[in-house]
Amino acid sequence: MNQAIFDRVRTLLGSASTGKSGDGIAQAAPDSTDGISATLALAKNEGWRVRIEGRGSWMPPNAPADLVVTSLGLDRVVKFAPADLVATVQAGISVAALERALTEGHAWLPIDAPGRPDRTIGSVIATGTAGPLREGFGPVRDHVLGCTTVTGDGQVVKSGGVVVKNVAGYDLNKLQAGGFGAFGLLTEVNIRLRAVPASDLTLIAQGGRDALTAEARRVIETKIDPGALELLSPAVAADADWVLAVRLIGGAEGVRSRAKQIRHDATVSWTALTGDQASALWHGAARAFLSGATTIRLGVLSESLDEIIDLVAEHLDLGLLSAGTGKGGLRWSGEATVEHLTRLRHVLAAREIPLTLERAEWKLRHAFGHFGAYREGVGAVVSRLRSTFDPGAIFQVPLDGTAVDG
Amino acid sequence: MPSLALAPPRTIVDRAALATALGRIVGDRWVRHQASELRTFSADGLPTHQSMPMLAVLPGTREELIEVVRHLHRSGIAFVARGAGTGLSGGALADAHTVLIPLTRLHRILRIEPKTKRAVLEPGVVNARLSEAVAPYGLQYAPDPSSQAACTVGGNVAENSGGPHCLKYGVTTNHIVELEVILPDGTVTRLGSPHGEPWGPDLVGLFVGSEGMFGIAIEITVRLVPLPQAVRTLLADFMAVRSASEAVGAIIAAGIVPAALEMIDQACVKAVEASIYAAGYPTDAAAVLLVELDGEPVEVASDGASVERLLLAAGARTVRSATDPAERNRLWQGRKKAFGAMGRLARDLVVQDAVVPRSALPDVLDRITAIGQKYALTICNVFHAGDGNLHPNICYDGRDAELTERVRAASREIMQACVDAGGSITGEHGVGSDKLDFMPWIFDATSLRMMCDVRRVFDPAGRANPNKVVPVFACREWRAGGVS
């Protein structure tokens, strides 16, 4: 650990907010946006490389840095308005703690991100890691109404607001959701909530992959508007077979009716899970992705799923895989090299399918990049945006990668 | 560091030579430079803001649009892209130093892909025409601004437009997956991907709602959604506006997300019922709520029954249910044509746009009534109650300077009341010119300066729709260290 950096940060924040990271780097854990701002301004002035961390349970906390700035000191619900179904929370609060707080107000945040429940909400938003509920409730960005972000030179920028509809000013929230922290460190977010549904039923079908994707297409044709409609590989579902899982959310009568519609003319056998079984399935599936060292997501539509799953099998494997069979999206986790991923990214790019590296060890992230090559003209825009939000280039966030030639 | 120019330099332009040059690109008949021709483009539905452009050029193809923008870049001339001119914020106005580029000739739907639920279109496609075109495939384009019979999807992209059915389906940004754009320097690039994943940082999300200040969308790929299996429309009338407001909160709190949840107050109901758009709304009610549920038939029936109970419990005098498409269309016609009906009441009509937390609706509506009384103005309200998006309307005669000043003062006070309640100055019309002064009410100097900086990423010279959204002169002062 660089003692001089540690001492400077301790002087700035005090001993209670200063420590050492797991890999021996000076760590700042400010308990306020102002503290984050002062820390990043200092880092920029000193030319320190900064690693942003939450709990460290999703993204491996191993980017080389001079200073780690963690959001864990920011773990409060700032304001919760159940009547408006809006909450303002600090970015370091865990998903589990947030869920507990919301339940008291009969509210719910329909994001079922992969990973452990102790992940911070800031991590979920910054990485844009939506789970199967994206089918019915949209991607992570759709739940973010406003952000407080600290830029790489310590400026505190607010975007959006606390109302559910708002077009005042440019929508800078969109850069933060899925920006991997390249555009600043999130300290507070205003999130849109839902009332806890009266009924939440999960049905599963087990079998061969082709039979299940065919059944998924049939389910979509019924227009039953599922909350989730996800194809899970055996390893993700902890099952001997592939599993197609549908989650029906809403009023009790409507959920019963939709379940009946699914079973009507079904080409596979559907089983309704108990609440505990459903919870075990979805939480298990979320955690399963941590079993692989590397996680990617593909922006693929359901019509191309069969072909793309085959491509993933050809270039990687079919170990840990989950795919949205309605509105699309595919997540894979496992062991992969830069070369394997690069080849896959090329093949997918030819089909206009983006591959995003969600998590990996630093060496792979740095070489491959979260996004890798962009479409023509986009890279220059992204580069200028990064310079705007991080003029000293202090954030250790490898959006582009170094080993990918496009 | 010296400040970069945030507003474009006022290039000295030989107007006739420019018209000739642009005429070579689009054809002389598509360059408008006579005052009588330009008057059409001098407003965007908001009578308090008018401005005559230097000239207007109407490209008819993608290639012409690109060439026009590149010519203006080479000449250092500012421009404003414009859809149908229904924005109501003074956002699509150009001044005497600025070229207006109406995009209404770029009105082709290029592809409809039912299997992937996508459509690819030019920016001048009229919103309602898109939904009509995809309906035979059992699909719809969900964002439905009240001006949808005229407004263009390109304009919707610029403003991130909403509409009644955005309560359930989301606003424009939730339905745009890919954009081909031309930046103000003439660079053409594609943002996003047809599959919905952003392909890098979410630049589509950033571009949508940037009010034409980052560039122009040349080609738009939209996400379509299936037409619902069942629809039920309820009309509830209340003898007190507060009761109607409270019913809105009760419905949302019950976990029901209607497709639309609209409120129309008595003054507005009377205007509608006195017009050709009469929908059978009870004119003696203080307010009516229009609630639409759609989805799976049993769920719609079940939720419909629940909503009816909630409406009655909140004090609804009667709840009427539209049982056939004709009746449903009639109820909606009253809502969608409300602005038109009110336009008959006076020479001019200001339609305002603000958002408040749902729970603040009763108090803010009371406050708006008080503001109307203070300024001796009749303010009608017809709005998206489910998401707290207010549209106070003020009828007046713009030839009366004193009255116009009262309208401006009342509008300002309404905005302040909404901001005080935790709301925002615009929910779907955009900031444009009209709300520039209010931006510092909701964003601090640092945040506004960052918006200026982000704009500069796309448009370093500040030539695309100059002097809108962010108060640039204030921003310059802040940059010089005056405030921040």
Q: Does B254 sit within 8 Å of A175, measured CB to CB? A: no
Q: Closest chain A residue to B299 measured between Cα atoms?
A: A254
Q: Does A177 sit within 8 Å of B296, measured CB to CB? A: no
Asked whether B92 and B196 are in contact (CB, 8 A), the reply is no
Mutation test of the interface with chain A: which of B256, B293, B454, B483, choosing the one with the most A Cβ atoms within 10 A?
B454
**Among A158, A223, A352, whose Cβ lies nearest the Cβ of B229?**
A223
**Among B162, B429, B454, whose Cβ lies nearest the Cβ of A172?**
B454
Alpha-carbon distance A118 to nearest alpha carbon in chain B (angstroms): 25
**Among B199, B203, B423, whose Cβ lies nearest the Cβ of A163?**
B423
Asked whether A236 and A242 are in contact (CB, 8 A), the reply is no
Q: Does A168 sit within 8 Å of B426, measured CB to CB? A: yes
pLDDT, tens only, B147-172: 999 999 999 999 999 999 999 999 99
B4 touches chain A (CB under 8 A): no
> Could you list the mean pLDDT of each consecutive 10-residue stretch along chain A, which spans 406 residues?
94 97 97 98 98 96 97 98 96 98 96 97 98 97 98 98 97 98 98 96 98 96 94 98 97 95 96 98 98 96 94 96 95 97 95 96 97 91 98 97 63
Q: What is residue B2's predicted lDDT score, i.e. its pLDDT? A: 33
Alpha-carbon distance B76 to nearest alpha carbon in chain A (angstroms): 21
| Cα distances (angstroms) measured from residue A62 to each of A1, A27, A46, A126, B358 | 14, 13, 21, 17, 44
Q: What is residue A406's predicted lDDT score, i.e. its pLDDT? A: 39
Mean pLDDT of B416-440: 97
* Per-residue DSSP letter, A184: -
Q: What is residue B343's predicted lDDT score, i.e. its pLDDT? A: 83
Is the pLDDT at B72 greater than 60? The verdict is yes
* Per-residue DSSP letter, B178: E
Q: Does A353 sit within 8 Å of B439, measured CB to CB? A: no
**Can you tell me which residue has the tokens 């050029």?**
B57
Is the pLDDT at B180 greater than 60? The verdict is yes
Q: Closest chain B residue to A158 measured between Cα atoms?
A: B447
Distance, in Å, from the CA atom of B450 to the CA atom of A171, rounded to the nearest integer, reads 12
Q: Does B447 sit within 8 Å of A225, measured CB to CB? A: no
Determine how β-strand B188-192 pairs with β-strand B176-182.
antiparallel
Q: Does A352 sit within 8 Å of B195, measured CB to CB? A: yes
pLDDT, tens only, B84-102: 999 999 999 999 999 999 9
Q: What is residue B482's predicted lDDT score, i.e. its pLDDT? A: 38
Mutation test of the interface with chain B: which of A150, A166, A378, choosing the one with the most B Cβ atoms within 10 A?
A166
**Can you tell me which residue has the tokens 């009924």?**
A199
Is the pLDDT at B354 greater than 50? The verdict is yes
Interface of B with A in 273-332 (CB under 8 A): 295-303, 306
Q: Does A257 sit within 8 Å of B296, measured CB to CB? A: yes
Q: Closest chain A residue to B298 measured between Cα atoms?
A: A254
Q: Does A174 sit within 8 Å of B226, measured CB to CB? A: no
| Contacting residues of B for A330, CB less than 8 Å apart | none
**CB atoms closer than 10 angstroms to residue B365:** 25
Alpha-carbon distance A208 to nearest alpha carbon in chain B (angstroms): 24
**Among B199, B210, B357, whose Cβ lies nearest the Cβ of A299?**
B199
Interface of B with A in 37-56 (CB under 8 A): none
Q: Strand, helix or coil at B345?
A: coil
| Contacting residues of B for A329, CB less than 8 Å apart | 196-197
Interface of B with A in 448-477 (CB under 8 A): 448, 450-451, 453-458, 469-470
pLDDT, tens only, B363-377: 999 999 999 999 999
Task: Calculate ∠ Cα A158-A164-A169, nearest 5°.
Answer: 40
Sorting pLDDT into bands at 50, 70 and 90, what band is B27? very high
Q: What is residue B219's predicted lDDT score, i.e. its pLDDT? A: 98
**Among A174, A196, A257, whose Cβ lies nearest the Cβ of B298?**
A257
Closest alpha carbon to B69 in B461, B472, B456: B461
Sorting pLDDT into bands at 50, 70 and 90, what band is B409? very high
Distance, in Å, from the CA atom of A12 to the CA atom of B69, rounded to the nearest integer, reads 50
Predicted structure pTM score: 0.96
Q: Does B302 sit within 8 Å of A254, measured CB to CB? A: yes
**CB atoms closer than 10 angstroms to residue A361:** 13
Q: Closest chain A residue to B187 measured between Cα atoms?
A: A377
Interface of B with A in 55-94 (CB under 8 A): none
Sorting pLDDT into bands at 50, 70 and 90, what band is B9? low
Distance, in Å, from the CA atom of B229 to the CA atom of B453, rounded to the nearest integer, reads 46
**Among B190, B205, B297, whose Cβ lies nearest the Cβ of A141?**
B205
Per residue, the 3-state secondary structure of chain B, as one string, reads CCCCCCCCCCCCCCHHHHHHHHHHHHCHHHEECCHHHHHHHCCCCCCCCCCCCCEEECCCCHHHHHHHHHHHHHHCCEEEEECCCCCCCCCCCCCCCEEEEECCCCCCEEEEECCCCEEEECCCCEHHHHHHHHHHHCEECCCCCCCCCCCEHHHHHHHCCCCCCHHHHCCHHHCEEEEEEECCCCCEEEEECCCCCCCCCCHHHHHCCCCCCCCEEEEEEEECEECCCEEEEEEEEECCHHHHHHHHHHHHHCCCCCCEEEEEEHHHHHHHHCCCCCCCCCCCCCEEEEEEEEECHHHHHHHHHHHHHHHHHCCCCEEEEECCHHHHHHHHHHHHCHHHHHHCCCCEEEECCEECCHHHHHHHHHHHHHHHHHCCCCEEEEEEHHHCEECEEEEECCCCHHHHHHHHHHHHHHHHHHHHCCCECCCCCCCCCCCHHHHHHHCCHHHHHHHHHHHHHHCCCCCECCCCCCCHHHHHHHHCCCCC
Alpha-carbon distance A108 to nearest alpha carbon in chain B (angstroms): 10
- Mean confidence (pLDDT) of chain A: 96
B205 touches chain A (CB under 8 A): yes
Mutation test of the interface with chain B: which of A79, A143, A163, A388, choosing the one with the most B Cβ atoms within 10 A?
A163
- Mean confidence (pLDDT) of chain B: 93
Asked whether A69 and A52 are in contact (CB, 8 A), the reply is yes
Structure tokens at A374: 């962009």
| Contacting residues of A for B194, CB less than 8 Å apart | 301, 352
| Contacting residues of A for B190, CB less than 8 Å apart | 375-378
Is the pLDDT at B480 greater than 50? The verdict is no
Q: What is residue B323's predicted lDDT score, i.e. its pLDDT? A: 72
Q: Strand, helix or coil at B275?
A: coil
ipTM > 0.85 (yes/no): yes
B425 touches chain A (CB under 8 A): yes
Q: What is residue B8's predicted lDDT score, i.e. its pLDDT? A: 59
B429 touches chain A (CB under 8 A): yes
Q: Does A378 sit within 8 Å of B190, measured CB to CB? A: yes
Is the pLDDT at B1 greater than 60? The verdict is no
Q: What is residue B336's predicted lDDT score, i.e. its pLDDT? A: 85
B208 touches chain A (CB under 8 A): yes
Q: What is residue B483's predicted lDDT score, i.e. its pLDDT? A: 37
Is the pLDDT at B138 greater than 50? The verdict is yes
Closest alpha carbon to A396 in A76, A61, A140: A61
Sorting pLDDT into bands at 50, 70 and 90, what band is B419? very high
Alpha-carbon distance B306 to nearest alpha carbon in chain A (angstroms): 10
Q: List, in order of start, the domains of chain B with CATH numbers.
A: 109-226 (3.30.465.10), 228-338 (3.30.70.2190), 346-432 (3.30.70.2740)
